[in-house]
Amino acid sequence: MIDAARLQSLFLELVRIDSHSRREGRIAARLARELGDLGADVVFDGAGTKVAGETGNLIARVPGTTTAPALLLCAHMDTVAPGEGVKPLIEDDVIRTDGTTVLGGDDKSGVAIICECVRICRERSVRHPPIDVVLTICEEVGLLGAKHLDLSLVRARRGLVFDSDAVGFAFTRAPGANHLEVVVHGRAAHAGMAPERGVSAIRVAAEAIARMRLGRIDPETTANIGRIEGGRANNIVPDEVHVRGEARSHDLARLAEQTDHMRACFEEAAARHPGARVEVQVESAYEPMAVPEDSAIMRLVVAAAARTGRTITAAGMGGGCDANVLNRRGLEVVNLGTGMRDIHTTSEWLKVSDMVAAAEVTLAAIELAADLT
């Protein structure tokens, strides 16, 4: 039932609308029209004001033909840079960028799949539950749209996020992450005339990092120091170093433990050098998610895939997405692959047939959800 040509054409239109994070106003207006024309009640929440963006999250409530619980279909409207002036190239089944920008298949493939499914429901009078389409802002800059989503406008408490690559997988597990920002303070002095008066912030940072457990900590946990900058000149004992790093874990307790360890390494190194001090700031980027494989939403997508002659396998992913936030906020959500490939690069591409496959499974899930209780 999915109209591949129409899905492709909407996708191409959407990737040509610039929508860097906080600049989603134009695409939101276009999608409000799309979903409003399909009979949805479209509203925006106040998230845009909170993040100083052009628009809030778009929430489109499609009335059901049955009284089953509402189903959430969620994707994000923003793209990473460089994502302005996208000129998609079409080669048979493949759509790619011209190499100067990302394609924006992350996540406009998800947006296009959702719109096509809602359209089919209306056009073909498919039995379906109430559907809440949530198109978020600012996913790429810290899941801000999902964090500020006004849940009082959303009826659904379970559903699907469309924001991962390979079709045939439902991501049920993802790590949580903490970001660390550290400033190491030493004391400046002339390196040749009075080195004993200085305290080297570079030495303190180096000692801290040398003693730190980094890389793969255990099967569930990783850690990295990703950026370091500091010092002034060869002949000055360095008085300041800035260090940034992260810890990730599927286990909240292990995440806290690794984060505390990294903080302690800096504090202990500073304590060994009188006159040195550190400021460590920890920000929770997102928390882990783990949806059981026998949850209602997983059973729904597995059954939907079977109905279309496909399979859906539960999998874990290495990063966070809106699903992390929504699960933490009490919804039950898994992340379905849309076909997007080599995302966040200027060689991003996707296959239209993959988007069609994801849309077929989604439509089957919508039909099956019409009879859930």
Based on the shown chain and the rule CB under 5 A, indicate whether residue 207 belongs to the binding site for Zn ion: no
List the one residue out of 268, 284, 261, 257 whose CA is nearest residue 184. 268
Least distance from C-beta 198 to Zn ion, angstroms? Answer: 46
Least distance from C-beta 107 to Zn ion, angstroms? Answer: 4
Nearer to Zn ion, 45 or 163 (CB): 163
Q: How far apart are CA 92 and CA 230, in angstroms?
A: 50
Q: Annotated catalytic residue: which of 45, 107, 116, 139?
A: 139
Residues 6+ apart with CB under 8 A from 113: 7, 75, 162, 338, 355, 358, 359, 362
Nearer to Zn ion, 106 or 239 (CB): 106
Structure token pair of residue 98: 């011209």
Q: What angle, 0 to 180 degrees and rounded to 10, lies between the N-to-C axes of helices 25-37 and 105-123?
A: 20
End-to-end CA distance of the chain: 26
37 flagged as catalytic: no
Q: Which of residues 238-267 bind Zn ion (CB under 5 A)?
A: none
Piece of the chain touching Zn ion by CB under 5 A; list 93-101, 104-112, 185-193, 264-272: 104-112
Q: Positive or negative, the Cα torsion across 144, 150, 155, 157?
A: positive
Binding mask 12-51 for Zn ion (x = CB under 5 A): ----------------------------------------
- Other Cβ atoms less than 10 A from the Cβ of 18: the count is 16
Nearer to Zn ion, 40 or 103 (CB): 103
Q: Which of 45, 78, 107, 116 binds Zn ion (CB under 5 A)?
A: 107
Structure token pair of residue 12: 């191409």
Q: With beta carbons less than 8 A apart as the criterion, state whether 39 and 63 touch.
A: yes
18 flagged as catalytic: no
Based on the shown chain and the rule CB under 5 A, indicate whether residue 78 belongs to the binding site for Zn ion: no
Q: How far apart are CA 159 and CA 98, in angstroms?
A: 34
Backbone angles phi, psi at 98, to 5 degrees: -85, 10
Piece of the chain touching Zn ion by CB under 5 A; list 49-57, 105-113, 297-305, 362-370: 105-113
Q: Annotated catalytic residue: which of 34, 45, 78, 163?
A: 78
Least distance from C-beta 110 to Zn ion, angstroms? Answer: 8
Based on the shown chain and the rule CB under 5 A, indicate whether residue 106 belongs to the binding site for Zn ion: yes
Least distance from C-beta 317 to Zn ion, angstroms? Answer: 11
Strands (E), the chain: 41-44, 58-62, 71-76, 89-91, 94-96, 131-136, 158-164, 169-174, 176-185, 215-218, 221-230, 240-249, 277-286, 289-290, 313-316, 332-337, 349-351
Nearer to Zn ion, 88 or 105 (CB): 105
Q: Which of 163, 239, 332, 348 binds Zn ion (CB under 5 A)?
A: 163
Least distance from C-beta 31 to Zn ion, angstroms? Answer: 16
Nearer to Zn ion, 45 or 107 (CB): 107
Least distance from C-beta 106 to Zn ion, angstroms? Answer: 4
Nearer to Zn ion, 45 or 106 (CB): 106
Among all residues, which ones are annotated catalytic?
Answer: 78, 139
Binding site for Zn ion (CB under 5 A): 106-107, 163
